[in-house]
């Protein structure tokens, strides 16, 4: 699990989200209200929005539009898991639902971290390295 998570707030714009993704080199942005998870915005969501807008306007106009649209308009409900979730269960949930990430929240809904596909790749490499040692 990654504990230092780049997040957005509901009133941040799609342009803010795009900047966060580019700077942080992340594809999943939990949306929070205070410290509580309220949604999720993905790189795929931004691409879909961009594609539908880009076909009709210039890149400059798209940026202007994205700077006016709040994240809450595009965010989706986030499936989250508690911190005690076993690795195998988290992987199963991600595979069965085709999720690229799973936010980790406590009982109050406070965001504690996020598990991503990249986390599982890092784990797989460590396990393969350990098997060869």
Q: Which two tokens stand for residue 40?
A: 């999720």
Burial class of residue 42 in the structure, from the number of CB atoms within 10 Å of its CB (0-12 exposed, 13-18 middle, 19+ buried)? buried
**Residue labelled with tokens 């400059």:** 60
Listed residue (36, 8, 39, 33) closest to 23, CA to CA: 8
What pLDDT sits at residue 105?
Answer: 98
Listed residue (74, 75, 84) closest to 104, CA to CA: 84
What pLDDT sits at residue 55?
Answer: 61
Q: Which fold has domain 8-132?
A: CBS-domain (3.10.580)
What pLDDT sits at residue 54?
Answer: 57
Q: Which two tokens stand for residue 77?
A: 């409900």
Structural domain spans, the chain: 8-132
What pLDDT sits at residue 133?
Answer: 73
- Mean pLDDT of successive 10-residue stretches along the chain, which has 133 residues: 94 96 94 97 91 68 86 96 96 96 98 96 93 85
**Residue labelled with tokens 């996020």:** 114
Give this prediction's pTM: 0.88
Contact 23, 17 (CB under 8 A): no
Q: CA–CA separation, 117 vs 8, rounded Å? A: 20
What pLDDT sits at residue 53?
Answer: 62
CB atoms within 10 A of CB 68: 10
């Amino acid at each position: 699990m990654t504990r230092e998570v780049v997040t957005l707030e509901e009133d941040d714009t799609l342009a803010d989200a795009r900047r966060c993704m580019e700077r942080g080199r992340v594809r999943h942005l939990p949306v929070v209200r205070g410290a509580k998870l309220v949604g999720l915005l993905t790189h795929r969501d931004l691409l879909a929005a961009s594609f539908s807008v880009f076909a009709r306007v210039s890149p400059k106009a798209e940026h202007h539009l994205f700077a006016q649209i709040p994240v809450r308009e595009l965010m989706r409900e986030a499936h989250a898991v508690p911190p005690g979730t076993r690795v195998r269960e988290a992987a199963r949930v991600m595979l069965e639902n085709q999720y690229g990430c799973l936010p980790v929240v406590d009982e109050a809904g406070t965001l504690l971290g996020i598990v991503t596909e990249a986390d599982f790749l890092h784990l797989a490499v460590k396990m393969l390295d350990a098997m060869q040692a």
